[in-house]
Structure 1
């Protein structure tokens, strides 16, 4: 039976409700000094606001070694009534010190599998997807190593693989590696940040391969392309790929949270979804937030 692996256990896909398919409750990186997401109270408030707006599930794409705070996720889920999906995997190498990466050499796939099947550290919280990352229009040696480990973990567990595309680029190279050389089924791959590079031809080619396409934001850093997202989704829908679209918020700094005056998680349902409905209709937006997300995340776990 296909289920979605949440921090409180496996649930039926139909229980997710409206899904924020890419966001962060906790995040820490040397590339974002002073902008860490570490406050449990702020995470709770953000989830409560998302729930009040009609949200049902948040997928945290924070991977191994970036301050996931997995042990805090179950209580946050219980207290707010929001399903949470945690991630394993690895981001780009610039987000880690060499000691962290060295400790994973030769065993990354085993770590991913353990976090998917047994739990993250001593928390007992099992991850529900694998997150990896590409580079700007290219895949370096680290990306290829991490994706190879992710593919191995996928083949062992069935877990979906979510991919950070740097500035929205490199989608086809990622698919060539993951779905070509590494034989991951395309419907188990979620490409993130496609709104940051609104190349409709690449979007259509990626969708034609059979993967899911996540449009996540907005943010100050990538605002220049935010306004083109409805057109990009409409183009995919017109080409018959509306059932492969996902939406997320991707909150990566404390200032971006709604509790600190930013758009935060509620913005996805309060402003993004209604704006998108003007372009593609309310029914497709409903499917994007519910049916599409549940299919992308649901797995026959091995």
Structure 2
């Protein structure tokens, strides 16, 4: 049985809606949102730093809630330890709305055997997890996560993005894109929105802060995509000190409605409960710095109205897709 919202969970009266692990909600009910983060994550690229402790995830959500947070979008895709079965309980106990992801990351995060197994019908897999449930019986995913490469798109990226585009057409779901070190945004848009005809406002480009190229930022926002600025930096990226400048430049150019912010916690050591910045940093530090530059009203839009619009989809109107 696919997990649905309990009686006390608000349900969107009509599309568009945001698909959380407890069911669909009206966009206006999302609240203050961390638009890109991870409660669970496992990869051979991060040995010994797995996010796989459910109680640590619960503590992190509690800390985020105490800082004023109301929703988290978990961008962990298929095959990377999403722990989807844990998410409904964590959402109920914390009071934080959680959106889970389907999709695939870069090939380096998977075994060749897994990629061969799922490669025959990636679009079908994505659609099934969005509409039926993760694993067939778990909560439904509410977005699609894919990934580009460093300043380019390899064959795997093109394959997964092609499948994501098909799944997007079948469901209306937003596509979140990991940009390697923040690069390749325009290549991604050329493929997804040009060749594959995905509406630009269904694309969310992640890690733009890691490549603070203001010309590219304006071009991507001008095309109609959402831009996710997430951090803090874990490798001396220009994330922190350039963030207010980059976001202010976009807002001044008329693209304040395209901006999302998130935390992107990817290692156990980065969790606030383990002494790192974790999810609360978004609201306790990043928000504070942005408010000083842009004012509270605009930053509140980045945290509420923008993600509510970016992650909403017309699920009820999605045509049936057979695997």
Same fold (TM > 0.5): yes
Q: Tell me, which stretches of 5 or more residues in structure 1 are unaligned? A: none
Q: Deviation per CA, 1:233-282, whole angstroms, max 9, x where unpaired?
A: 00000000011100000000001000000000001001100100111111
1:222 is displaced (CA, Å) by: 4.2
Q: Secondary structure at the match of 2:24?
A: strand
Aligned partner (choices 189, 196, 200) of residue 210 of structure 2: 196
Q: Which residue of 2 aligns with 1:116?
A: 130
1:105 is displaced (CA, Å) by: 1.7
Q: Deviation per CA, 1:4-48, whole angstroms, max 9, x where unpaired?
A: 000000001011110000000000000000000000000000001
Q: Given the two structures, how large is their TM-score scaled by the length of structure 1? A: 0.99
Q: Which residue of 2 aligns with 1:159?
A: 173
Q: Which residue of 1 aligns with 2:270?
A: 256
For residues 24 and 222 of structure 1, do their structure 2 counterparts lie closer, same or farther at Cα, with a shift above 3 Å needed? farther
Contact 2:211 2:238 in 1 (8 A): no
Cα distance in structure 1, aligned partners of 2:239 and 2:36: 18
1:124 is displaced (CA, Å) by: 2.2
Q: Given the two structures, how large is their TM-score scaled by the length of structure 2? A: 0.92
Q: Which residue of 2 aligns with 1:267?
A: 281
Cα distance in structure 2, aligned partners of 1:67 and 1:225: 27
Q: Deviation per CA, 1:56-108, whole angstroms, max 9, x where unpaired?
A: 00000000000000000000000000000000000000000001100112200
Q: Which residue of 2 aligns with 1:38?
A: 52
Given the alignment of the two structures, is residue 92 of structure 1 paired with residue 119 of structure 2, yes or no? no
Residues 1-302 of structure 1: pairs in structure 2 closer than 5 A = 1-301=15-315, 302=318
Q: Secondary structure at the match of 2:264?
A: coil
Q: Tell me, which stretches of 5 or more residues in structure 2 are unaligned? A: 1-14, 319-323
For residues 222 and 155 of structure 1, do their structure 2 counterparts lie closer, same or farther at Cα, with a shift above 3 Å needed? farther
Stretches of 4+ moved more than 4 A in 1?
A: none
Give the paired residue count: 302
Contact 1:136 1:170 in 2 (8 A): yes
Cα distance in structure 1, aligned partners of 2:150 and 2:42: 21
Q: Secondary structure at the match of 2:251?
A: helix
Contact 2:129 2:136 in 1 (8 A): no
Contact 2:233 2:239 in 1 (8 A): no
Taking only aligned residues, the RMSD between alpha carbons, in angstroms, comes to 0.8
Cα distance in structure 2, aligned partners of 1:245 and 1:19: 12
Cα distance in structure 2, aligned partners of 1:6 and 1:293: 13
Q: Deviation per CA, 1:170-216, whole angstroms, max 9, x where unpaired?
A: 00000000000000000000000000000000000000000100000
